[in-house]
Amino acid sequence: MAQKVELAWSLPPHLPGDGDTTLKVMTDVLIALAPATIAGIVFFGVYSAAVVVVSMLTAAIVEALYLRRSFTPRGLIGDGSPLVAGLLLALVVPPSLPLPLVALGSAVAMLVGKHFFGGIGRNIFNPALLGRAFLFVVWPRQMATWTPPLDGTTTATPLGGGEASYLDMFLGTIPGSLGETSALLLLIGAAYLFYRGRIGWRIPASFIAGIVIFAPIFGGDILFHLLAGGVVIGAFYMATDMVTSPVQPTGQILFGLGCGIATMVIRELAGLPEGVMYAILLMNALVPLLDRFFRVKTLGEA
Amino acid sequence: MNPPDIGLFSLFFASIFTSNILLANFLGMCSFVAISKDMKSSNGLGLAVTVVLTITAAVNWIILHHVLIPLDLLYLRFIIFIIVIAAMVQILEMIIDRVSQKLYITLGIFLPLITVNCAILGVSLFVEIRDYGFTQTLVYGFGSGLGWWIAIMALSAIRKKTERTKTVPAGLQGSGLTMITIGLMAMAFIGFQGMLAVQ
């Protein structure tokens, strides 16, 4: 009787597996985002905790439903990627956003952004950013209502014309979305990701370089533009997404530069106060093209 | 009539990105969807559109300002523009056939198809509505062509990637996912909205 032989099959390059699973990578990202999330909840109050929970839970449920997994904790966590996408979405929406909108945005992110394109590793656009862009198109007013931390009144974000000092912006005690505000804690998380080898230096560095070069051209303040809005979370957590960024070093640098430049162009010239989200989505759309222009040289290729 | 006061550089940038003829104005969709299946054809068509767009925008501007407006025949502009586009495409086809056989073969059927590409007529009409000067028209036509080219290349690279994906839901494979992708690309381009550069 012929016995079925299971052969190990993988695409070259055959890198030695060091035991990394999606779940491990995603756990690291969750750990890295934890300080900023907790600080955001402290700053903005209990309601923002509900936003985080609803967003993560919806993403997990949608994924479990789509993949027909059980609703046990194990089935809901899956490979961890819905939790990361849900958390990232919660971090980039206004902390006072009505919960049904949060859930809808999270569901769109998972379903349209990820599973329509074939699931994990196949998506073209960053799901969390797509969810936010979707919410922004449909509910522009709710998506532009910012509450300052430790206070109940609505004000403009620094990018929307509000006032803030560099220190406030660095520490995060300014109005803004949950995870966009505290540059310090996000950088600590990013340092952890970098230490664990989960993100490369090229994309964040060239993203920031794009802003540093182009801010003075538009007459903007470099430090302000680096600290304000979503640059830190965008450059270190969103643009570096392994799936939606180029694989080859030159492509990565061009990708980062493009993100930075587009961010500055949108901030200074367009009608919107914040451009990081659209800049990254825009460059996401160009990634397959960049990957075709700058391919990893295969062994033996001239 | 005075041309609007727009710097040439910002007009160029705007016509490529902020008011991308495809993803902001949704002109030239049919060939965008149909041709983007194949990267090589996309590249050829993008090149052809850019060349034709630049030339026809300029020629139509000359006809508009030196024939139609002086003779008070503005109501004929649609039909005249289309005739000019068709004629320019024919002439261009003959020239390319004579000068570079290689390019002629690369462009193939796409060159005549450009005649019915609404992006081309759209640009000529935008030029009329927005009262561009001659240099502005040239820059706008060229920029719009480049914008179209970049957009179709990006889409066709995305399609190449998604086509290899076996896990795309069965009902969405092919044109379904393409339509969704175009929608999402347009959503990403919304970021540039409100840049008042084009008129």
| Residue B82 and residue B121 in contact, taking contact as beta carbons nearer than 8 Å | yes
B17-35 burial code (b ≥16 CB/10 A, e <16)? bbbbbbbbbebbbebbbeb
What are all long-range contacts of A44-50, with beta carbons under 8 Å and residues at least 24 apart?
A: A44/A95, A44/A96, A44/A147, A44/A149, A44/A178, A45/A95, A47/A95, A47/A96, A48/A95, A48/A96, A48/A178, A50/A99
Summarize pLDDT for B112-128 with one digit per residue, the tens.
878 778 888 888 888 88
Is B191's CB within 8 Å of A279's CB? yes
- Percentage of chain A lying above the pLDDT 90 cut: 14
A 151-190 residues with CB below 8 A of B? none
Q: CA B87 to CA B60: how far, in whole Å?
A: 11
Q: Which of B17, B167, B185 sits opposite A122 (nearest CB)?
A: B167
Q: What are phi and psi of A246, to 5 degrees?
A: -65, 155
B176 Cβ partners below 8 Å, 6+ apart?
none
Q: Which of A112, A269, A289 sits opposite B157 (nearest CB)?
A: A289
Averaged pLDDT, A82-103: 89
- CA–CA min distance A265, chain B (Å): 8
The per-residue pLDDT for A171 is 64
Instruction: Please tell me the number of Cα atoms within 13 Å of A260 on its side-chain side.
Output: 28
Summarize pLDDT for A181-212 with one digit per residue, the tens.
678 888 888 888 888 888 888 899 999 998 88
For A133, nearest residue in chain B (alpha carbons)? B187
Question: Can you give the residue ranges of every domain in chain B?
Answer: 9-192
The per-residue pLDDT for A300 is 65
Reported CATH class of domain A22-290: mainly alpha
* pLDDT above 50 for A152: no
* pLDDT above 50 for B149: yes
Report the complex ipTM: 0.80
Q: Compare A5 and A14 and report the one with higher pLDDT.
A: A5
Summarize pLDDT for A239-283 with one digit per residue, the tens.
888 888 888 888 899 999 989 888 888 887 766 667 788 889 889
Averaged pLDDT, A117-131: 87
Summarize pLDDT for B35-74 with one digit per residue, the tens.
888 888 888 888 888 988 999 999 999 998 888 888 888 8
SS (H, E, C) chain A: CCCCCCCCCCCCCCCCCCCCCHHHHHHHHHHHHHHHHHHHHHHHCHHHHHHHHHHHHHHHHHHHHHCCCCCCHHHHHCCCHHHHHHHHHHHHCCCCCCHHHHHHHHHHHHHHHHHHHCCCCCCCCCHHHHHHHHHHHHCCCHHHCECCCCCCCCECCHHHCCCCCHHHHHHCCCCCCCCCCCHHHHHHHHHHHHHCCCCCCHHHHHHHHHHHHHHHHCCCCHHHHHHCCCHHHHHHHHCCCCCCCCCCHHHHHHHHHHHHHHHHHHHHHCCCCCCHHHHHHHHHHHHHHHHHHCCCCCCCCC
Is A112's CB within 8 Å of B166's CB? no
- Indicate the average pLDDT of chain B: 83
Q: Compare A97 and A175 and report the one with higher pLDDT.
A: A97
Which residues on chain B are in Cβ contact (under 8 Å) with A292?
A: 39, 157, 160
At A6, is the pLDDT very low, low, confident or very high (cuts 50, 70, 90)?
Answer: low
* pLDDT above 80 for A176: no
B 166-195 residues with CB below 8 A of A? 166-169, 172, 177, 180-181, 184-185, 187-195
Tokens of B161: 């990637």
Q: Mutate which of A116, A255, A264 to test chain B, going by most B C-beta atoms within 10 A?
A: A116
Averaged pLDDT, A204-223: 84
Tokens of B103: 């390019």
Is A65 touching B (CB cutoff 8 A)?
Answer: no
Place of tokens 């705007």: B14
The per-residue pLDDT for A107 is 93
The per-residue pLDDT for A147 is 61
Q: Which of A262, A271, A285 sits opposite B154 (nearest CB)?
A: A285
Is A115 touching B (CB cutoff 8 A)?
Answer: yes
The per-residue pLDDT for A167 is 66
Is B193's CB within 8 Å of A272's CB? yes
Q: CA A34 to CA A49: how far, in whole Å?
A: 12
* pLDDT above 90 for B142: yes
Strand partners, A155: A146
Q: Mutate which of B187, B189, B193, B198 to test chain A, going by most A C-beta atoms within 10 A?
A: B187
* pLDDT above 50 for A75: yes
Is B191's CB within 8 Å of A289's CB? no
